Structure 1
């Protein structure tokens, strides 16, 4: 039951919109699948998420309009088989992030002029070197370069109203800073039956970034503090599995663990008020499983289902969802043997959540959903 190279490549390249609405700030899923492709390989992808996240205020029992902003992110990778036993890879993604803007509706998360807003961005560059002692084994490791920046504004009665008694009007801007970590793992494969298993560990990365905290009031914007902000992006483990079950057909699964438990970001001014900016209480677990089928030399398809545990409930007001269930479809078209184009779509049923700030639940969010779209181009050289 030996599968062709196109078939064995389906799993680790199909359904590009596979991990785009996960727990906490998790976004890309941090896949190293491109590095496990045979021979020399390069890819680039572009993914868009369109969430709808609505709720109701506990302060006045009124409805809250959609606060989930659309967002997009790219990924790219190149892998070179330098020798029969040595491979090199460079992978770019945006592993963590957040995009949200509350509407001007109840006063819970707005001040009648603007709503609470959050934008968090990360960039990740992973360099890997792999050693293949035999055809079946691949042992790899390498450094990870990462940047984080954020721009967050708190508005509304949920934060105690305006200064001096409350935090409505509070802003924090975190400048982009570099930090470093590492990744390592191993893979085992039996090409004759399209079997492949990989375990990849990524270390936590400690950031010390410059944070500027200000307060917007009717008389202007007041400078509060400029200080170093300590933040740690979490360690994680990915397990990728696949095997052929018939000619040109394979099943696959991805399991992911992210150490969000006790993840806290607490800028200095907020800390003096007994507040955290972000606080997660549970680790994240997620599973994606599905089936890929090669129809002919040019066309292949994938179907997958997914589950994500979330990172604890109640959750921060800056991302009020608790895990998800999902279903997705992807297609691959190969005009020639050495390159392909893929597209995927995924629907997410987002978990209900209670949004809290200052230790008190201020709103409930239920019956929400998201749509993800993705496109990828891969090339073998």
Structure 2
């Protein structure tokens, strides 16, 4: 019962966990380290968000639609786990923990370059993060264990803000390192486990090219682009994951998680943009808590299923136009079919994205309401023993 149920639960909270606060995508889960023996695991999630809002025109005051600003995306995961000794386990995992892919309509007020002859584009942002995490788990007596490891993370970002004199920044990829530490307790007889893990912040020094259209006053000519190579320190935030599960009845498993992310640690403030606008490109005022609660059931020796509910707190404060959401609730369904050596899982999740008010310009704000996302996922775990 335990193996099949845990896989069904994992697909609900892992493979389909594609839309959360800030730039969060993977949730930085470490459930692979708890697999028995030696296994390889592949998971792929896909999320199709629908996020739109309106902002009044600077000239007429009429509301202008942003279009669907959030592009769809994939969340891959690849891992290998093995038992080095009876007491010591090792796992290595690849995921993409953070990301963004935002693009507004050409008619949106913030997609307008007011500099005569300036280059034309739309308000957009793209951020890609890749991480490889190597973990060790040492088992003590009484079901307790200690977890620790190193995370290598690579970040790249680009942002275009037409309203700010056609401003654009494109960064190079930067590699930096952080760490993971945690503790866990298990009681296999009742499929009980509690795991608490801490993910450190990771500091990146992004080298970037910033460019903009200066106002065409002689000797500046219309359409001229000024570029400057600069660098900016950016920190992906520290976070804490609490995961728990227990058998509550024959063939039935209760499980859940709480994730805290310290988003105010993340601020992207390229110097040319700050000098011209007086503010950071991206920053956050509030941290987030994300809660998941689910129930799994084994229908047969081969098939198990699970249902999950998710909730993320909203702050009610104005948010960035490059991430115009504020909290969510979700429901997910997942199932696992167990073969002799493999466990094949699939799941789907619907997310109701919280309404948000986004900072605009010239004292004008934008309202984002009625938004949602669909996520699907597939996972296969293959035993090498």
Common fold by TM > 0.5:
yes
2:59 is equivalent to residue 56 of structure 1? no
Q: 1:168 to 1:371 in 2, by over 3 A?
A: farther
**1:9 & 1:154 partners in 2: Cα distance?**
43
**Cα shift readout 1:107-154 (whole Å, capped 9, x = no counterpart):** 443459532111100011110111112361221101110010011111
The answer for the alignment partner of 2:202 in structure 1 is 205
Higher helix share: 2
The answer for the alignment partner of 1:163 in structure 2 is none
| 2:68 aligned counterpart, secondary structure | coil
Q: 1:284 to 1:209 in 2, by over 3 A?
A: same
| Aligned with residue 378 of structure 1, among 376, 381, 385 | 381
The answer for the alignment partner of 1:162 in structure 2 is none
- Aligned residue pairs, count: 368
| Residues 170-179 or 219-228, more deviating | 219-228
Q: 1:181 to 1:283 in 2, by over 3 A?
A: same
| 2:233 aligned counterpart, secondary structure | strand
- TM-score under structure 1 length normalisation: 0.91
On the 8 A contact 1:44/1:76 being kept in 2, the answer is: yes
Q: How does 1:158-173 map to 2 (within 5 A)?
A: 159=163, 167-173=164-170
Q: 1:272 to 1:216 in 2, by over 3 A?
A: closer
**1:80 & 1:297 partners in 2: Cα distance?**
25
On the 8 A contact 2:8/2:345 being kept in 1, the answer is: no
Q: Which runs of 5+ in 2 are unaligned?
A: 114-118, 215-220
On the 8 A contact 2:12/2:348 being kept in 1, the answer is: no
| Aligned with residue 363 of structure 1, among 362, 366, 369 | 366
On the 8 A contact 2:15/2:43 being kept in 1, the answer is: no
The answer for the alignment partner of 1:85 in structure 2 is 87
Q: How does 1:247-326 map to 2 (within 5 A)?
A: 247-261=250-264, 263-273=266-276, 274-310=278-314, 313-326=317-330
| 1:83 aligned counterpart, secondary structure | coil
Q: 1:221 to 1:303 in 2, by over 3 A?
A: farther
| 2:29 aligned counterpart, secondary structure | coil
On the 8 A contact 1:24/1:311 being kept in 2, the answer is: no
| Aligned with residue 95 of structure 1, among 94, 97, 100 | 97
The answer for the alignment partner of 1:122 in structure 2 is 129
On the 8 A contact 2:9/2:334 being kept in 1, the answer is: no
On the 8 A contact 2:151/2:177 being kept in 1, the answer is: yes
Q: CA deviation at 1:225?
A: 2.0
Q: Which runs of 5+ in 1 are unaligned?
A: 160-166
Coordinate RMSD, CA, aligned: 2.0
The answer for the alignment partner of 2:218 in structure 1 is none
| 1:11 aligned counterpart, secondary structure | helix
Q: 1:362 to 1:168 in 2, by over 3 A?
A: farther
On the 8 A contact 1:15/1:374 being kept in 2, the answer is: no
Q: 1:227 to 1:312 in 2, by over 3 A?
A: farther
The answer for the alignment partner of 1:164 in structure 2 is none
On the 8 A contact 2:7/2:336 being kept in 1, the answer is: no
**1:291 & 1:205 partners in 2: Cα distance?**
34
The answer for the alignment partner of 2:182 in structure 1 is 185
